Chains A and B, each alone.
Chain A
Amino acid sequence: MSAALSLPGLAIEDWLAPFLPLERTLRARGPGWLQALRGKALASLRGEGFPTRRSEQWKYTDLRPVVAARFHPAEPAQPGDGDIRLAAALAEQPVVIINGRPSLPLPGPLDGRLIPLTEAWHQHSELAGVHLGRYASFDQRPFVALNTALFEDGLLVRIPAGSLLEAPVVIVHCAVPHGQPIAVHSRTLVLAGRNSRAAILEAWQGPDGQPYLSTAVTEVVLEQGALLDYTRLEQEGSEAFHFSALDARLERDSHLVSNSIALGGRLTRHEIGVVAADEGACCSLNGLYVPVGSQHVDNYTVVDHARPQTTSSQLYKGILDGRAEAVFQGRIIIRPQAQKSDAVQRNRNLLLSQAAVVNAKPQLEIQADDVRCAHGAAVGQVDQEALFYLRSRGLPIEQARRLLTLAFAEEVLERLKHPLLAEHLRQRLRERFGRGQEG
Chain B
Amino acid sequence: MLEIRNLQVRAGEQLILRGIDLSVKPGEVHAIMGPNGSGKSTLAHVLAGRENYEVVGGEILFEGNNLLELSPEQRAGEGIFLAFQYPVEISGLTNLYFLHTALNAIRKYRGWPELDLLETQVLVRDRMKLLGITEALLGRPVNEGFSGGEKKRNEILQMAVLEPKLAILDETDSGLDIDALKAVATGINAMRHPARAMIIITHYQRLLEYVVPDFVHVMAGGRIVRSGGKELAAELERTGYAWLPAPEASLRELEI
Contacts and interface: CB of A to CB of B under 8 A. Distances in A.
Interface of A: 383, 385-386, 388-397, 399-400, 403-404, 406-411, 414, 438
Given A399-B105, A403-B101, A391 B76 contact: yes
A350 B48 CA distance: 27
Nearest to B99: A393
- A interface majority secondary structure: helix
B50 A388 contact: yes
12 contacts: A390-B98, A392-B75, A392-B76, A392-B84, A393-B76, A394-B102, A394-B106, A397-B71, A399-B105, A400-B73, A407-B92, A438-B101
A388 B72 CA distance: 8
A407 B162 CA distance: 22
B160 interface: no
A406 B101 CA distance: 14
B73 A394 contact: yes
Nearest to B87: A389
Interface of B: 48-51, 71-73, 75-77, 81-82, 84, 87-88, 90-93, 98, 101-106, 109, 141, 158, 162
A394 B90 contact: no
Contact of A393 (B50, B71, B92, B105): B105
Contacts of A386: 88, 90
A395 B105 contact: yes
A103 B205 CA distance: 75
A411 B77 CA distance: 30
Given A390-B90, A395-B102, A438-B105, 11 more contacts: A389-B88, A390-B102, A391-B72, A392-B82, A394-B73, A394-B77, A396-B105, A400-B73, A404-B93, A410-B92, A411-B91
Contacts of B91: 407, 410-411
B142 to A, nearest CB: 8
Contacts of A399: 101, 105
A393 B158 contact: yes
B183 to A, nearest CB: 21
B73 A403 contact: no
Contacts of B72: 388, 391-392
A366 B95 CA distance: 41
Contacts of B90: 386, 389-390, 404, 407
A404 to B, nearest CB: 7
A394 B105 contact: yes
